[in-house]
Structure 1
Amino acid sequence: MDATYIQQSIEQLKTNIFMHVRHRTLLQYTGTPVVNENQLFYLLLPFLNGEKWSKQIDESAITVGIVHASLYEHEKINEKHALDKEQQLTVLSGDFYSGRYYEILARSGNIPLIRQLSEGIVSRCEHQMKVYESNQYTMDQWYETISVIQTELIKRFYQVYQFEQYSTFMHTGLLLLQLLEEYRYLQQGKPSILFKKMIESAEDEKIFESMIEKQISSLKNLLNEYLQSSTVLKDDLKLYIKQQIALN
């Protein structure tokens, strides 16, 4: 197994997700669903590492991908232009994707997955709403929020199928990758709403940048320690994860 095979597996999962939510009008106005390839990689990590992977597990991974796409569509809504046709269709696309994953879950009859994903969506949305609250949070609380938004549904997927041995890599890797992406946008002068709220918590942008740089460095060291000491992951996957970080 090499990086090409890993990327092909991610692309196949992405294609399967798109096939389940394809709709001509939505494609025309809102484009293809947005999926995070880093999240798809960690969804597939147990499979890539040789774990037993049934049709049910594969369908569950597709469902998690659709849930992520649905939540992302709703997060794109701009309240100031909520009556615009494109905005209305963006709302509809999120609702459409929601309907599709509920349909898949209902058809599967997979009660443990339904329960875990329902609880995971609630937890993720609660953290997402912090961005719009007037409350002040510490930097550690913001890191937890980013982590929950990025990892909660995959964590629930792991729990259903007893893949928890991959959670450490997934939590550390996805938090680190998201911070790297957010920090890059900050340096380009395009901070996200989340980072703007975090800057308010730090009370000074320069201090904030220093804190983020320190956290990124700490997470890189931590992830490298996990990879070096792991007897679970195949060497090709360890290398891929290191390359992910290097490219970001």
Structure 2
Amino acid sequence: MNATYIQNSIAQLKKEIFMDVRHRTLQKYTGTPVIDENQLFYLLVPFLNGEEWQQEQREAAITVGIVYAALSAHDHIKELDATSKEQQLTVLAGDFYSGRYYEILAMSGNVALIRKLSQGIVARCEHQIKVYEATKRSIEQWIASMSTIESGLIAKFFELYSFEKYIPIVEKSLIILRLEREWVAYHRGQVSLMSKALEESARYDGTTYYSVIQDKIVQLKKELLQEITEASFLQGDVKQALQARVEASIASTNG
């Protein structure tokens, strides 16, 4: 397995997701669904590592991708302004994608998957709501919330198909990527509600947003590389692919 095979696998899954949610009017005004290829890669890691991956797993993975597309569409609504035609259609796009995964799940009859994804969606939304609450929370609590938001649905998918051993690697990988996005956006003056919450918690702890995020990213990358290295269940080429992504992330951060 090489980088081309991995990219082709991601592209194929992405294509299948797009085919299930295509809508001419929504695409005209909002573009194709926003799907994070990093999430698709980590969703596919068991498949790339040679785990049993039959049609049921494939269809379930597509459904997980559609769920992420629906939630991402809602996430892209401006926090204080959803009055433009494009913004209103983005809301509708999220609702449309949601309807599609409900329909697909109902037609599949996969009750276990319905239960797992429902749990994941509820948990994700609960953690997103926390940024609007007045309760003080620690840096670690905010990072745990971000981890649930980023990888909770994939973790539920892994639990259903007995891929639990991959969860720690995927959780660390996706929270690192989220923290790096928050870091870059913060430097550009694009401060999210989550960054504001982290900044407030850091100030309360007598430190700064910069040092907290930077230190946490470094710590998580060190732990992740060690976990990947010691993961005996990973095939050599998959291990290399995972390490390469962490190293590329390191290079990007340093740059």
TM superposition score category, shorter chain reference? over 0.9
How does the TM-score come out when normalised to structure 2? 0.93
Match of residue 220 from structure 1? 221
User: How far does residue 80 in structure 1 lie from its aligned partner after superposition?
Assistant: 4.0
Match of residue 7 from structure 2? 7
User: How far does residue 150 in structure 1 lie from its aligned partner after superposition?
Assistant: 0.5
Match of residue 60 from structure 1? 60
Q: Using the alignment, how far apart are the partners of 1:180 and 1:216 within structure 2? A: 8
Q: Secondary structure at the match of 2:208?
A: helix
Q: Using the alignment, how far apart are the partners of 1:182 and 1:203 within structure 2? A: 17
User: How far does residue 237 in structure 1 lie from its aligned partner after superposition?
Assistant: 1.6
Aligned CA RMSD, in angstroms, stands at 1.5
User: How far does residue 79 in structure 1 lie from its aligned partner after superposition?
Assistant: 5.4
Q: Using the alignment, how far apart are the partners of 1:179 and 1:233 within structure 2? A: 25
Structure 1 residue ranges, 4+ long, deviating more than 4 angstroms after superposition? none
1:139 is the counterpart of 2:142: no
Q: Which deviates further from its counterpart, 111-120 or 126-135?
A: 126-135
Q: Using the alignment, how far apart are the partners of 1:35 and 1:136 within structure 2? A: 32
Q: Using the alignment, how far apart are the partners of 2:137 and 2:28 within structure 1? A: 40
Q: Please, which runs of 5 or more residues in structure 1 have no aligned partner?
A: none
Q: Using the alignment, how far apart are the partners of 2:244 and 2:191 within structure 1? A: 25
Q: Secondary structure at the match of 1:83?
A: coil
User: How far does residue 24 in structure 1 lie from its aligned partner after superposition?
Assistant: 0.4
User: How far does residue 38 in structure 1 lie from its aligned partner after superposition?
Assistant: 1.2
Match of residue 169 from structure 1? 169
Contact 1:139 1:201 in 2 (8 A): yes
Paired AA for residue 108 in structure 1: S
User: How far does residue 82 in structure 1 lie from its aligned partner after superposition?
Assistant: 2.5
1:159 is the counterpart of 2:159: yes
Q: Using the alignment, how far apart are the partners of 2:18 and 2:36 within structure 1? A: 13
Match of residue 233 from structure 2? 232
Q: Which deviates further from its counterpart, 25-34 or 183-192?
A: 183-192
Q: Secondary structure at the match of 1:135?
A: coil
Cα 1:123–1:53, aligned 2, differ >3 Å: closer, same or farther? same
State how 1:12-161 maps to structure 2 within 5 Å.
12-78=12-78, 80-161=80-161
Q: Which deviates further from its counterpart, 77-86 or 153-162?
A: 77-86
Q: Please, which runs of 5 or more residues in structure 2 have no aligned partner?
A: 250-255
How does the TM-score come out when normalised to structure 1? 0.95
Match of residue 253 from structure 2? none
Contact 1:2 1:236 in 2 (8 A): yes
Contact 1:177 1:245 in 2 (8 A): no
Match of residue 211 from structure 1? 212
